[in-house]
A and B are shown apart, each in its own frame.
Chain A
């Protein structure tokens, strides 16, 4: 399996390197792999590529964590209070349907060329999948389990920590996986709209100077940030949810 994936990667690289020339596609449309690699090295040396990558990654992680906490808290509150959900649901629905990246220009007007608009877009975009999943999980808990706990004289806090919280974790992590990929989108759009740092800025810079290789490098760096975040989530999930059927390692 692993060998197959690796072989495919080699084939892909070869096609990328020699394919454009063979099919007559000019380098400013698809620069060959070697040119992108050279561009990568040049950007490391001259364009502070690592600095911009770190800025973007920082914003992604901060936005992700804040959006995750907010989504979880609101998900629990709405899940436990049907009245609150009933009153708030039209607004939540409207906000959920609104394309979150469209808020980027607004946030830039509000906060200028700082890290805040980017983090804010990420928070907004991460919030929904987490909130919806936690809310659904709290609602799906078998009321008889809660009755059982109450028959043992459990307090409200005990019901939360012993039942509601652990029961919400599998859907919570499913929400986080979706959110991890979305967080990168949110930050990049924020950077494209208004900023002079980060990978989104390099994207617009590369576009403006007709440097296709630079755009390729930046896209790859963004993807790597997304993969690392997603991988971290999966790793934590496998630790926390080790009890899920199908996750158990044979003893």
Chain B
């Protein structure tokens, strides 16, 4: 049996609607799912359904109100070294070179400069940034910066990657190239990833499974297994004739066509 890397057990997140009124808003509830080793799972849902809340609980930055989150069999109570996240914003520090930015996680964890360097250099090479290691973020394009952010996320060698709409700020073509980079990297390293996105085709092209969430309070209403071969190659997967029916499925589950009327 393959090892479970990330598991949500009946997780809910509630918070007070406003400071004074005692109302409680439930952001997400009944989250019950698991990611096996090497699996890439996307979460898709309407805006405000709590997708980011879900990732925050997975990273340990935000505690669950009830239920439990496990990473590598360990209960998540605070940020831990098994998980790393990546956001829509690259969050590169402008005063650090690309290499120094990639190394920041290792630096915080006390890894010596001598040990950091080979890790960051080989990752930057694989992210096709080998010629830009000593550049500063503002000298790079948006797509290159997001690739550097991916390298930073992978540098700490996490068991699970949490990706929160990492490509949504990029133009359509750059986005496809980065999806390909991510797909390949995930395939090569065998990393497990939970991927939040708004982009239906992106979810289908990159993942083994897609979880569909409902309106707030967000629950998982449907799991769709993506039966297209060659997951590390999203560029090819996009062209598959099966993509259309999956998109249609997701559209009806999310009630997208009804919103038009």
Q: A158-B108, A162-B104, A162-B108 are in contact. Are A150 and B79 (CB under 8 A)?
A: yes
C-alpha gap A101/B153 in the complex (Å): 53
Shortest beta-carbon distance, A171 to chain B, in Å?
Answer: 13
- Tell whether A166 is near chain B: CB-to-CB under 8 Å: yes
C-alpha gap A145/B95 in the complex (Å): 13
Write out the residue numbers on chain B whose beta carbons fall within 8 Å of the beta carbon of A166: 93, 95
In the complex, which residue of chain A has the Cβ closest to the Cβ of B84? A151
Central interface residue in B80, B105, B108, by most chain A CB within 10 Å: B108
- Chain A interface residue count, Cβ-Cβ cutoff 8 angstroms: 21
In the complex, which residue of chain B has the Cβ closest to the Cβ of A169? B95
C-alpha gap A169/B95 in the complex (Å): 10
- Tell whether A153 is near chain B: CB-to-CB under 8 Å: yes
- Tell whether B156 is near chain A: CB-to-CB under 8 Å: yes
C-alpha gap A152/B93 in the complex (Å): 15
C-alpha gap A149/B59 in the complex (Å): 12
Find B91's partner among A142, A150, A154, A243 (CB 8 Å cutoff): A142
Shortest beta-carbon distance, B106 to chain A, in Å?
Answer: 8
Q: Per-position contact with B for A197-224: 1 when CB-CB < 8 Å, else 0?
A: 0000000000000000000000000000
Q: A147-B61, A158-B108, A245-B138 are in contact. Are A153 and B79 (CB under 8 A)?
A: yes
C-alpha gap A148/B96 in the complex (Å): 15
- Tell whether B195 is near chain A: CB-to-CB under 8 Å: no
Asked if A152 and B61 sit within 8 Å, CB to CB, the answer is no
Q: A145-B93, A147-B61 are in contact. Are A152 and B109 (CB under 8 A)?
A: yes
Find A151's partner among B59, B89, B94, B136 (CB 8 Å cutoff): B59
Write out the residue numbers on chain B whose beta carbons fall within 8 Å of the beta carbon of A147: 61
Interface size band for B: 20 to 34
In the complex, which residue of chain B has the Cβ closest to the Cβ of A166? B95
Find B156's partner among A142, A152, A167, A244 (CB 8 Å cutoff): A152
C-alpha gap A144/B86 in the complex (Å): 10
Shortest beta-carbon distance, B122 to chain A, in Å?
Answer: 20
- Tell whether A248 is near chain B: CB-to-CB under 8 Å: yes
Shortest beta-carbon distance, A27 to chain B, in Å?
Answer: 55
Write out the residue numbers on chain A whose beta carbons fall within 8 Å of the beta carbon of B96: 243
C-alpha gap A248/B96 in the complex (Å): 13
Shortest beta-carbon distance, B145 to chain A, in Å?
Answer: 13
C-alpha gap A150/B61 in the complex (Å): 8
Write out the residue numbers on chain A whose beta carbons fall within 8 Å of the beta carbon of B89: 142, 144
Find B109's partner among A144, A153, A163 (CB 8 Å cutoff): A153
C-alpha gap A167/B156 in the complex (Å): 23
Asked if B138 and A152 sit within 8 Å, CB to CB, the answer is no
Write out the residue numbers on chain B whose beta carbons fall within 8 Å of the beta carbon of A244: 94
Write out the residue numbers on chain B whose beta carbons fall within 8 Å of the beta carbon of A148: 85, 87, 91
Show 25 residue pairs from A and B whose CB-CB distance is below 8 angstroms, ordered by the A residue: A142-B91, A144-B87, A144-B89, A145-B93, A147-B61, A148-B85, A148-B91, A150-B61, A151-B59, A151-B61, A151-B79, A151-B84, A151-B85, A152-B79, A153-B79, A153-B80, A153-B108, A162-B107, A162-B108, A166-B93, A166-B95, A243-B95, A244-B94, A245-B138, A248-B136
- Not counting A144-B89, A151-B60, a sample of 19 additional A-B residue pairs whose C-beta atoms are within 8 angstroms of each other reads A145-B91, A147-B61, A149-B108, A150-B61, A150-B79, A151-B79, A151-B85, A152-B104, A152-B109, A153-B80, A162-B107, A163-B93, A166-B93, A167-B93, A243-B95, A243-B136, A245-B138, A248-B136, A248-B139
> Could you tell me which A residues sit within 8 Å of B by CB distance?
142, 144-145, 147-154, 158, 162-163, 166-167, 169, 243-245, 248
